[in-house]
Chains A and B, each alone.
Chain A
Amino acid sequence: DAKTTQPPSMDCAEGRAANLPCNHSTISGNEYVYWYRQIHSQGPQYIIHGLKNNETNEMASLIITEDRKSSTLILPHATLRDTAVYYCIVRVEWNSGGSNYKLTFGKGTLLTVNP
């Protein structure tokens, strides 16, 4: 799976949009971009994933650049409860080695939403 690079920390004001960047310059054509978050003392929570097109759900939007080398997770109106570590993960759709089941977590971005 391609490696990802995220800033270690970010701050955001409550009620504002939080834009979390992720660099995945070595991504392959069949690799998905996933976002999870982990609030302190809880399990990781799935947020969203995408392949080429931008995606939106009730939690967030995922913007993937045309060359797919980077993406941005957008939380449109951040609340204090969105304070968490956000992980950007790239997963291959399928491979003959069978490691497609893995989620390989990096260090993530600690997003702090301030009042």
Chain B
Amino acid sequence: DAMVIQNPRYQVTQFGKPVTLSCSQTLNHNVMYWYQQKSSQAPKLLFHYYDKDFNNEADTPDNFQSRRPNTSFCFLDIRSPGLGDAAMYLCATSRETGGNQPQHFGDGTRLSIL
């Protein structure tokens, strides 16, 4: 059974039109992460939440924001998507942030920009 669920699997939006990607988890983990993976590249962390505390990576563009209304759900908002934002967006969770805590990933949402 899927434990980290991302919807939709495929999302198409227009250049400059805001889009929201969603992630839910059944693991009751404290930490939720958003990664961006462009074609033929490795995943790159955008930000993470530890409970309600938001932690942004220094090089994450301002265009990307996130919300975590409760333990189970986390959203990625892209305010004005550009062509360079076309990518797979991956959500992951872990119980804690320590190095001995595996992260568990969803299957991602592939975002296309027209």
Q: Do A and B bind each other?
A: yes
Least CB distance, B50 to chain A, in whole angstroms: 8
Q: Which of A13-51 contact B (CB under 8 A)?
A: 30-32, 34, 41-46, 49, 51
Cβ of B102 and Cβ of A43 under 8 Å apart? no
**Chain B residues touching A, range:** 20 to 34
B12-20, B62-70, B74-82, B105-113 - the one binding chain A: B105-113
Chain B residues 21 to 38 lying within 8 A of chain A, measured CB to CB, are 31, 33
State whether B99 touches A43 (Cβ < 8 A).
no
Instruction: Give chain B's interface secondary structure class.
Output: strand
Whether A44 and B98, one on each chain, are in contact in the complex, defined by CB atoms closer than 8 angstroms, is no
A103 nearest in chain B by CB position: B103
What is A's interface to B at a CB cutoff of 8 Å? 30-32, 34, 41-46, 49, 51, 87, 91-94, 100-103, 105-108
How long is the Cα–Cα vector from A32 to B92 in the complex, in angstroms? 19
14 contacts between A and B (CB under 8 A): A30-B99, A31-B99, A34-B102, A42-B107, A43-B107, A44-B92, A45-B105, A51-B100, A100-B99, A101-B33, A101-B55, A103-B45, A105-B43, A108-B42
> A49: nearest residue on chain B (CB-CB)?
B102
Interface of A is mostly: loop
**Interface residue? B72 (CB, 8 A):** no
Q: A41-B110, A94-B98 are in contact. List 9 more A-B contacts (CB 8 A).
A: A42-B107, A43-B4, A43-B107, A44-B92, A93-B98, A94-B99, A100-B99, A101-B55, A106-B42
